[in-house]
A and B are shown apart, each in its own frame.
Chain A
Amino acid sequence: MTATETNRQIAMVLDLNKCIGCQTCTVACKKLWNKDTGTGYAYWNNVETLPGAGYPRNWTETGGRTDQGEVKAGSVPNLDEDYGRAWTFNHDEVRARAGEGEQKPWLRPKEKPKWGANWDEDRGEGSYPQDNHYFYLPRLCNHCTHPACLDACPRHAIEKRDEDGIVLVDQDRCHGYRFCVESCPYKKVYFDPQRQVTTKCIFCLPRVEEGVAPACARQCPGRLRFVGYLDDEAGPIWKLVHEFAVALPLHPEFDLGPNVYYVPPMSPPKLDAQGRPTDEPRIPTAYLESLFGKQVHGALRILELERAKRRRGEASELMDLLIAYDWNENFALGERKREVL
């Protein structure tokens, strides 16, 4: 394993208790970075409904490392079956042939959709009304401390920047072998068949360099994202990850040291067979454990304890932080060098 030590690590925390699945993050990212023809199918940032197969379909199943720390080969998801290509539509045909009676075409994808970035939206699991449940999980590149993609690249085209730990695919060096796509267990590296290179989240490098939060975070109307440096003890990241220990990495068992953290979701109580509320949350805690590891129990308990303080009228720094009274304080990236407003 290559332990890539960097001076600083930029990180993000996402509070899943505030995520409404609106996908403004997805669109913000797509509009800014990812409109190339070859990556129409690709979403550096996506939001998936869990439980569900996600995007790409069943992404958790391949890649990562062996117990010895070697990079696993994994597999490249299929464009139609697993990602879902960027369907094209027949707007012009529908208008031009509107008069053809029962034969007239209707507006729809020209290709038969088999999967898409949000295919499982609001599907969830369980039986209504006892324990049906779902929640939203926004995902982006984890800018791992020990990135599998970096180790997998024979071209040494992937670097982890020293100044902020952002993981980048050098677009000039990349030859499009796709070992990185295979090896990333989060499936957050995408192949551009048109340009024959892979691309991935750049953590909005040009913005971060100028002290502006990434588009997915700054444009999130749910106000659920925090951005800053992991070692900044005055910033929100350190507090949520280390001080209060309510923000957890996704799939810590992949052992890549992800730098995107999640505040796990609470949920309304399950009902028993007679429809009476029980003490159990709808989202099975065992399921959350499969995503966030054993620490999820503690994180959920802390959230409840701190909420209870506010219910009693007592102060809670954690609740104040998650409320985000002054939203600008969600982002601790130093001085803003470019006046964008």
Chain B
Amino acid sequence: MTQSNSPAGWQLGRRRFLELAGLATAATTTGCLPFVHLKEESPAGPLADGAIAGRTEKLGSWQDLYRQRWTWDRVAKGTHGWLNCRSACNFDLYVKDGVVVREEQSATYEASEPGVPDFNPRGCQKGACYTEVMYGPSRLSVPLKRVGERGAGQWEQISWDQALAEIGEKLVKIAEKDGADSIIHDLGPHFDNGPTTAARVRFFGMMGATLSDDWAEIGDLNHGATLTFGFPHVGGGSDEWFLSDYLVVWMMNPAVTQIPDAHFLFEAKYDGAELVVVDPQYSATAVHADQWLPIRPGADTALALATAKHIWDSGRMDLDYVREQTDLPVLVRLDTGRFLNESDLEEGGRASVVFVWDADDERPVPAPGSPDNTRQPRLDDGKVEPPIEGRFSITLADGSETFVVPVGSLLREHLEAWSFEAAAEVTGLAVEQVREFAEGFARAERPMVLSSWGSNRYLHSDQMNRAKILCLSLKGAVGRKGSGYHSTGWIETGSLGIGDKTGLAGRLALFSQIGMGTLFDMAIDRVRGRISEQRMMWELGDILGEDIACMTNAASMNLAIQGIADDLDREQDGLYPRPLSAYDREAREKDWMPRLPKDKARAWVTGGNNVLRRSNLPQRSLEHLWPELELIVDVNPKFTFTGMHADYLLPAAGYYEKRGIKYAVAYIPYLHYCDAAVDPIGESKDEWWIFWKLAQEVQRVALERGTPELDGCGKFPVDLSNFGDRFSFYGKFGPEETDKVTQEMLNNAATTDRMTVAELEKTGTQKFQSAGGPSGQPQLFNDEWKGEGVLYACTHFTEEKWPWPTRTGRQQFYIDHPWFLEVGEALPTHIESPKAGGDLPFQLISCHARWSIHSVWRDDPMMLRLQRGEPALYLNPDDAQREGIDDGDWAELENRIGKVYMRVKYSTMVRPGVAYYFHAWEPHQFPDHESYKFVTPGLMNPLHFAGGEGQLSWRFGVWEPGTQVQDTRVAIRPGRPAGQEVSS
């Protein structure tokens, strides 16, 4: 090939390559951003180094040009570690001349067992072009300090030394002045299970800063599962889908949101399973279904209750399972609506013990597996076969008579109203379709429901999920291989901790922080076989988590500091007996829900979160929270909307530039390791280095100032004078030693303790050794799985017969908490979706995106070119035409909160009356930098503030109030932002 044929683009590529390699110097200017990044294209394809970089190899023919492109210097193993993506996919990272030029799936997984398809080749279009983001136009590569007003876009480049010294000093001063808990560490949802998260959590945990748990606040917490099972994360591997014979995808869209796993659904169909999709939209998953149920949004509980009734009425209930595993036989007092408990029957009885009816002796007996049933601690320990229906007279301790009934009786009566006709009326489905669905469910041997994080976005999602689980439990499907409930399980990996010791010594040291009495009682219970080891460790983990860190739930925190309390009281007026704020107050008075900071938030440190992109009504945060913050720091590989409004931007290394361990959901039971394929771009640094250095600065400042011992939210003292020493475990881990940190974390969990970093560098992935535990909350409750066979969940209860971690020790369909009784939600109940924002014609419904993982790929040109380049509001063409809006036109979305603009895209998948969008567009991709979030109030269900009883107790990511977006209503009209033509 001749020099004259060398395209100009290649030379450009060469120059960009130099920039990337850090040889080009970033200008330090004010008012313009000194980013080291590519303007348009990354150099991936055109780096034909033989021709251009002066090497002597000659290309023999034009075909060699192509052969040259498929060459590399070396392959590193990687994944997308610090990314809130539930898929984990092993990639080969092709490195050439110091640049990761492309990535391709490694595809080295094996089938879990014979007769089940393998997991290859996990990946998606985003993972296959992270290099575009890594070298893309929003990449941060030098530390920046704001020089104009917040949000004004005026920055100057500063050195790391300056950045860390200034931030360290501000953190110490704020901690002294307003308390360490006024420093908010807004971690999630982006996080990994490696040194990056370890550094962040260790730093802010030790400091006594407020660690916010935004699991529910982002709308991901499955309250319905926690109410029923005691924990929200249920389900095993995605290859378990393949084993079901009646697969109901019910509020999930795997073809869009679980791309590497979706194939199992369609393969199950080929294997003879019936694939059913229940979705108001004709989703990309629904197009491959055998049955698509175009349900009215928010009506899912009605469909489930009719199905449950049909299973029961048609005699397809698994009675043995229901008696043993569920609360249907547990007795409820008709006079109070509360569970009959031991203190009702005898003086000094324990309120924790619940009862079933012994039909032979005609008396209530403690339910097997009931909490504190020391004689029958396991679910199958009973000789009785308790009835699930009936009405029995009993004598209480005070001598009075009352009636008790099993939960089953109440439930049966409750279901009576849910004929196919009634469900059809509510769901908008034909009676025949409801019947076909219910009959298929009832007839199935292994029914399975996929109901993932997106199923929790209605105010009454808890009811929907309780009702779906009811259908499965009546069939005995939960905790049985190839059937049951998939709300997305987790596999736990090790952490570094926030105490002074790590490893076994650390774990032992932690026990000393627990009251000896508690520990002794637990040990006795364990020794006597009253509780399982899993359960004991689970509860210990909770106690520890609460005692050693200042954690709060983000939604509750936001209610106080983001200025949205009044909005929500107005939007939820009349929905419950009392205003939301009254429930919140009562929950705080009774210490049901933690609330930090104690007073104002003063510092906000983020990086995984993009709070102003993700929050509902971010304008309130900007108006109320932002002015009170003295320090806002974004530690991030990318420039985000929140970053635009920060004081400091610290460039974090990208996914391929640092060691990482991908967080692990159970769909793919392999640990995924990400190697540092190349050095961090520009001046970016990995978080372990950043927070290690920052910890030394904090220590230096504290020593200089003579900072006294501070209070860690009333739980522990905070000594900043040796903060840096403690952070590094007194020098055990240096700032560059992420290999040691990673190995330590691997050593700290039973799922990974035989893995080594050296081996993972070669393979990138390794199958987990067990299903997790027993020290943290993410649990699959499968004690037997040791890396062999399809992973499935909840055998701890169904096979080993340990009680479920609920009020009754059983899968619980009756919630006797006074708040639930007061509003008539004790049993799974259909409640209409309220009209947040006003009684307006369109329901604004969102889905996780095909084209981005949250906002990470949202502004990436390669991805945008495969969409329409801008955010799109999907409308049914009939609706849009009626409103006079053409495909591609601007439209205004308005409700009583405000008005925003989006371009309309026609789609026949969308139900008329629904305005549909795929989430996570940055506000600065909209006119006036105002996204749909600016009209989305995010309702909060007051019942989720409840506490004090069984599973209704605050736990990190298990039970806490959240926000719900799908009830939002808007009017949609032709309309355009100022200065724009309607179709411009």
Contacts and interface: CB of A to CB of B under 8 A. Distances in A.
A40 to B, nearest CB: 7
A325 B259 contact: no
A23 B35 CA distance: 30
Given A37-B8, A221-B263, A277-B433, A95 B639 contact: yes
A129 B925 CA distance: 32
Interface in A68-98: 84, 86-89, 91-92, 94-98
A88 B31 CA distance: 22
Contact of A307 (B111, B259, B270, B282): B270
Contacts of A224: 263
Contacts, number: 318
Interface residues of B, number: 119
Interface string A169-213: 011100000000000000000000011000000101111000000
B42 interface: yes
B125 A22 contact: yes
Contacts of A220: 121
Nearest to A110: B869
B867 A38 contact: no
Kindly name the residue among B255, B270, B429, B436 whose own CB sees the greatest number of chain A CB atoms within 10 A: B270
B123 A21 contact: no
A317 B826 CA distance: 51
A294 interface: no
A143 B42 CA distance: 29
Given A95-B33, A99-B149, A35 B433 contact: no
Contacts of B263: 18, 221-224
B290 interface: yes
Majority secondary structure, B binding face: loop
Interface string B5-31: 101110010000000000000000001
Contacts of B644: 95, 98
B32 interface: yes
Given A35-B41, A271-B430, A323 B270 contact: yes
B121 A134 contact: no
Contact of B910 (A35, A94, A128, A136): A128
A22 B262 CA distance: 11
B151 interface: yes
A22 B63 contact: no
Contacts of B169: none
A334 interface: no
A248 interface: no
Nearest to A204: B70
Contacts of B284: 20-21, 122, 136
Interface in B127-156: 128-129, 131-132, 137-138, 148-149, 151-154
A206 B70 contact: yes
Nearest to A46: B866
Contacts of A125: 908
A113 interface: yes
A275 B906 CA distance: 23
B153 A219 contact: no
A219 B128 contact: yes
Kindly name the residue among B8, B125, B269, B850 whose own CB sees the greatest number of chain A CB atoms within 10 A: B125
Interface stretch (A26-34, A59-67, A147-155, A231-239): A26-34
Contacts of A92: 32-33, 35, 137
A194 B7 contact: yes
B107 A36 contact: no
A99 B153 contact: yes
B260 interface: yes
Kindly name the residue among B12, B132, B148, B272 whose own CB sees the greatest number of chain A CB atoms within 10 A: B272
A96 B124 contact: no
B288 interface: yes
Contact of A268 (B12, B66, B291): B291
Given A35-B44, A276-B430, A195 B7 contact: yes
Interface stretch (A100-108, A250-258, A285-293): A100-108
A326 interface: yes
Contacts of A205: 63, 66-67
B956 interface: no
Interface in B243-265: 255-256, 259-260, 262-263
B527 interface: no
Contacts of A311: 272
A274 interface: yes
Contacts of A271: 294, 430, 433
B911 interface: yes
Interface in A276-311: 276-277, 307, 310-311
Contact of B259 (A24, A40, A88, A119): A24
B9 A38 contact: yes
B619 interface: no
B270 A322 contact: yes
Majority secondary structure, A binding face: loop
B116 interface: yes
B50 to A, nearest CB: 14
A58 interface: no
Given A89-B861, A106-B929, A194-B8, A117 B866 contact: yes
Nearest to A109: B869
B128 A27 contact: yes
Contact of A340 (B75, B115, B129): B75
A134 B75 CA distance: 39
A127 B878 contact: yes
Given A28-B128, A35-B46, A38-B7, A218 B107 contact: yes
B783 interface: no
Interface string B856-874: 0001011011111110001
A181 to B, nearest CB: 19
Contacts of A312: 272
Interface stretch (B98-106, B353-361, B465-473): B98-106
B401 to A, nearest CB: 51
Contacts of A124: 282, 907-909
A191 B451 CA distance: 46
Contacts of A275: 294, 428-430, 432-433
A122 B917 CA distance: 12
Kindly name the residue among A119, A132, A267 whose own CB sees the greatest number of chain B CB atoms within 10 A: A132
A239 to B, nearest CB: 15
Contacts of B277: 268
Interface string B924-935: 111111000000
A183 B120 CA distance: 38
A34 B45 contact: yes
Contacts of B382: none
B734 interface: no
A109 B870 contact: yes
A23 B120 contact: no
B908 A128 contact: yes
Contacts of B908: 123-128, 132-134
Contacts of A266: 288
Given A89-B137, A132-B282, A36 B46 contact: yes
Interface string B321-355: 00000000000000000000000000000000000
B929 A96 contact: no
B922 interface: yes
Interface of A: 17-18, 20-24, 26-28, 30-38, 40, 84, 86-89, 91-92, 94-99, 102, 104, 106-109, 112-113, 116-119, 121-129, 132-136, 168, 170-172, 194-195, 202, 204-207, 215, 218-224, 265-269, 271, 274-277, 307, 310-313, 319, 322-328, 340-341
The 5 nearest A-B residue pairs measured at CB = A99-B152, A35-B45, A275-B430, A98-B153, A37-B9
25 contacts: A18-B267, A20-B256, A20-B288, A21-B255, A22-B125, A22-B256, A24-B125, A27-B125, A33-B69, A87-B865, A91-B137, A91-B859, A92-B33, A92-B35, A92-B137, A98-B151, A123-B906, A125-B908, A129-B911, A172-B5, A223-B120, A268-B292, A271-B294, A307-B272, A341-B108
Given A171-B62, A275-B428, 4 more contacts: A127-B878, A195-B7, A221-B122, A267-B288
